[in-house]
Chain A
Amino acid sequence: MKIWLTVLLCLLLGVQAAHAETENRLDFDGLYSGGGALGLRFSDKVLSSDGRRIVIRGFMAPPLKADADFFVLTREPVALCPFCQSDSDWPDNILVVYLSKKQRFVQNNTVIEVEGTLEVGSWTDEKTGFVSQLRLRDATFHTL
């Protein structure tokens, strides 16, 4: 009986956890709901998640600068870096990630999962001048 109860409890908790995870999970295709050449539109989900903890999967672009305390999360692996190449630009659906504590760089070939507090709206990083529209603050990540 005890075992059954435990199993049931685990199942219930699991379902709840999974439910919570679905609620807070964003994906790159769902960041913008449309727009065009005159600007993109944040999706309702992004707007309603502003200030909340979210989880998203993507690829970690190589560090921008030695002294940058953030990295860029992209939908696909990227072959560019705006500070080292003159002839390149970021895709427009990037997410800038500020880590809560230092973590090692992960190969750009590997999918990572990042959790952090979503911040929506234009913001300029003081140190680097990097302008971003979407950020994760106080974030951590792990490889999958």
Chain B
Amino acid sequence: MKATVMMPLCLGMALLTATAQAAPAIYPVDTARFLGTSKFDFKVEFDREISQSDIDVRINGKSVADVFGAKPEFIKNEEGKGSAIILRNVSLAPGKYAVSAKDGKEEASAKWDVYGTPEKAKAKNVILLIADGLSMGHRTGARLLSKGVTNGMYNGYLSMDTLPYTGMLGTCSVDSIAADSANTASAYMTGHKSSVNAIGVYADRTKDPFDDPRQENIAELLRRKTNKSIGIVSDAEIEDATPASVVSHTRKRSEKAAIVGMFANIRPEVLIGGGSAYFLPRTVPGSKRKDEKDYVEDFRKAGYTLATTRTELLNVMEKSPDRLLGLFHTGNLDGALDRKQLKKGTVSKFPDQPDLTDSMNAALKVLSKNPNGFFLMLEAGLVDKYTHPLDWERAIYDTIMFDKVVAQAQAFCDANPDTLLIVTGDHTHALSIIGTVDDNLPGELMRDKVGIYGAAGYPNYKDADGDGYPDDVNVSKRLAAFIGNYPDHYETYRPKLDGPFVPAVKDENGHYIANAAYKDIPGAQFVPGNLPRTESTGVHAIDDLVVGARGPNADQIHGFMNSTEIFRIMAEAMALGK
């Protein structure tokens, strides 16, 4: 067909789709592809108040009550926005489903693809390793700094480079082509897409952040269908979006105090991270709760062994407890560069924090005690936390640390080949490495010292102690790396040795302006932002993610996939649809 004929047709189809999506709204949404027998909430929102008799909702031509065996609740008027029907906690057998919703005037439709899994599990254990925000620039930067290059050939590979199956993931959201760590991680943990800031739910129109239509998550499925152990590890706050997504349902990822309660409901055998502030009653200095609940005590009573420093962690691991709660910081832990070398960030206040490799060791030891296997989600959360404020050196040091965790996981897989290992990020950043910065090059401005193409040559990082990290991040000839979106800031062309970068601060009009603390650093150059002035840091990219895998079912990872396929591959490996 000629393009001229196609164009109006495409436009017409686009308009039709747009009209159909306007009202009513159906949840799960059109295009949803999810696990048969998994629970979900079915909801239809009408955009005006109607009587119950006007509603005609059909699934494959049958009434809702016929399909689910129960009548949906009718809501006459939802917050003045119109009528709705909702039926919670339902499930479907595998198959193709066509949903239609009519209110006497408007009509909407949705198609669902509900898949099953084999009866028998292929994998005993599943390990999902996520470096939050992991992009190509982080991987390349980690390889350059950790391994080095000789005459164009890398001196070695990262552990994540050696995974036998590789694919690309698309991370778009229900409400936007962009995504945040809440709905991207939620896609891995539920198999459903969601909206920015939402975890384990479809974001509906109501204000309540806890009433949105739910999607069953992997922790609930594991508890309902298996006797496997569950481990959740992060170096960010444990209530932060990625670790929260394993257990949570909320429209608002910022509901961190409530998320702690959701951890308590699931009781993962291993829970390691920062964010103790939300476990402590409000009367304790350092608490961020607004009530008197003491979740440290709550977990202790439930039989958890507690560790709050690296030393304590190593000590308690000598006896290898059955349930482990590791809380090492009131907020996010510090990254590798600050903990190992610069002693900045919050290291002086929290001088004895574990490395992510310590946490990984502890998690594997506790979880592998279960003869039925386990599911472990570990997040290197600070890769993203440092990339947002354009502090790419810290982000790359943490990517090196993450790769050491990948190596530990690969060693575990060598010894336990019935383990599916998946290694990826959750969304990307626009980080690119373009050459070197050489302090010894002539030039009045720092930008004249940026070596590109042939002039880039090789950086002069050294790793004399062989720990995989450069001994000094601030060498005279270092990587030139830039992030493609940013607020107003001062580019200093060198690592921030006094603490993580704070590129912009807010003014009285709500606009972010360049942080003057960096203005007088020799060579600092003002860079006007290319993001809305309301943005404090760089934002996520929509670029595809790289995913690598090994073990049972890993061969399904190839080419381009929607991010929800990670859930399907894990669910299939553990036969969660049985």
A residues at B contact (CB < 8 Å): 32, 34-42, 61-63, 76-81, 84-87, 89, 91-92, 105, 107-109, 121-122, 124, 129, 131, 133
* Complex CA distance for A110 and B537, rounded to whole angstroms: 20
A109 to chain B, nearest CB (A): 4
Closest 8 pairs (CB-CB, A-B) = A86-B254, A79-B536, A40-B286, A39-B284, A37-B276, A37-B308, A108-B505, A77-B505
Partner of B296, one of A38, A41, A85, A108: A38
Residue on B with the closest CB to A110?
A: B516
Residues of A with C-beta under 8 A to B148: none
Q: Which of A87, A91, A108, A131 meets B254, CB within 8 Å?
A: A87
Chain B 500-519 interface residues, beta-carbon cutoff 8 Å to A: 502-508, 510, 512-513, 515-517
CA distance A39 to B329 in the complex (A): 9
B285–A109 touching, CB < 8 Å: no
Q: Which residue of A lies closest to B353 (CB)?
A: A37
List 27 contacting pairs A-B, 8 Å CB cutoff, sorted by A: A32-B285, A35-B285, A36-B350, A37-B276, A37-B309, A38-B276, A40-B330, A62-B507, A62-B508, A76-B499, A79-B505, A86-B197, A86-B252, A86-B254, A87-B254, A89-B237, A89-B277, A89-B288, A91-B331, A92-B285, A92-B286, A92-B330, A92-B331, A109-B513, A109-B516, A124-B282, A131-B287
Q: Does B529 contact A (CB under 8 A)?
A: no
Number of residues in B with C-beta < 8 Å to the partner?
47
CB-defined contacts of B537 to chain A, threshold 8 Å: 79
Given contacts A36-B350, A86-B197, A108-B507, contact A80 B536 (CB under 8 A): yes
B378 is an interface residue with CB less than 8 A from chain A:
no
Q: Which residue of A lies closest to B329 (CB)?
A: A37
Closest Cβ of chain B to A41, distance in Å, is 7
> Which single residue of chain A is at the shortest CB-CB distance from B499?
A76
Contact (Cβ within 8 A) B309 A36: yes
**Residues on the B chain within 8 Å of A63, using CB:** 508
Bound form: Cα–Cα A86–B280 in Å: 21
User: Which residues of chain B are near A89, meaning CB under 8 Å?
Assistant: 237, 277, 288, 331
Secondary structure dominating the interface of A:
loop
Our pick among B253, B274, B285, B515 for the contact of A86 (Cβ within 8 Å) is B253
Q: What is the number of contacts between chain A and chain B, taking CB atoms within 8 Å? A: 112
Chain A's nearest CB lies how many Å from the CB of B330? 5
Minimum Cβ distance to chain B for residue A36 (Å): 6
Docked-complex contact A122 and B282, CB < 8 angstroms:
yes
- Could you say which residues of chain B place their CB within 8 Å of the CB of A42? 285
Contact among B253, B276, B286, B287 for A87, CB-based, below 8 A: B253
Which residues of the other chain, A, contact B510 by a CB distance below 8 angstroms?
Answer: 62, 84
In the complex, which residues of chain B have a beta carbon less than 8 angstroms from the beta carbon of A34? 349
Residue with the greatest number of chain B CB neighbours at <10 A, chosen from A35, A92, A105 = A92
Q: Inside 8 A of B285's CB, which chain A residues have their CB?
A: 32, 35, 39-42, 92, 122, 133
- CB contacts (< 8 Å) of B508 on chain A: these are 62-63, 105, 107
Q: B residues within 8 Å of A by Cβ?
A: 180, 197, 237, 241, 252-254, 274, 276-277, 280, 282-290, 296, 308-309, 327-331, 349-350, 389, 499, 502-508, 510, 512-513, 515-517, 536-537
- Besides A62-B508, A131-B289, 11 new A-B residue pairs in contact (Cβ under 8 A), listed by A number: A36-B350, A37-B329, A77-B505, A78-B502, A89-B288, A91-B331, A92-B285, A105-B508, A107-B505, A122-B283, A131-B290
Q: How far is the CA of A85 from the CA of B241 in the complex (A)?
A: 14
Q: How far is the CA of A107 from the CA of B511 in the complex (A)?
A: 11
Contact B506 A62 (CB under 8 A): yes
CB nearest neighbor in B for A129: B290
Cβ contacts under 8 Å, A108 to chain B: 505-507
Q: Considering residues A35, A39, A41, A63, which has the most beta carbons from chain B within 10 angstroms of its beta carbon?
A: A39
- Nearest-Cβ distance from residue B346 to partner chain A, whole angstroms: 8
Is the Cβ of B350 less than 8 Å from the Cβ of A107?
A: no
Shortest A59–chain B CB gap in Å is 8
B227 to chain A, nearest CB (A): 31
> Within 8 Å CB of A122, what residues of B?
282-285, 287
**Contact residues in A for B536 (Cβ distance below 8 Å):** 79-80, 85
Which residues on B sit within 8 Å (CB–CB) of A87?
A: 180, 197, 241, 253-254
Complex Cα spacing A130 to B126, Å: 41
How close is B334's CB to chain A, nearest CB, in angstroms?
A: 13
Residue of A nearest to B277 (CB): A92
Residue ID in chain B nearest A39 by CB atoms: B284
**Known interface pairs A109-B513, A131-B287. Does A79 touch B389 (Cβ–Cβ under 8 Å)?**
yes
Q: How far is the CA of A77 from the CA of B508 in the complex (A)?
A: 13
CB-CB nearest in chain A for B333: A37
CA distance A121 to B288 in the complex (A): 13
Contact of A39 among B274, B280, B512 (CB under 8 A): B280
Query: A38 and B280: CB pair below 8 A?
Result: yes
* Measured CA separation A121–B283 after assembly (Å): 7
In the bound complex, what is the Cα–Cα distance between A42 and B283 (angstroms)? 13
Once A109-B516, A131-B290, A133-B285 are accepted as A-B contacts, the answer to whether A37 and B505 lie under 8 Å apart by CB is: no
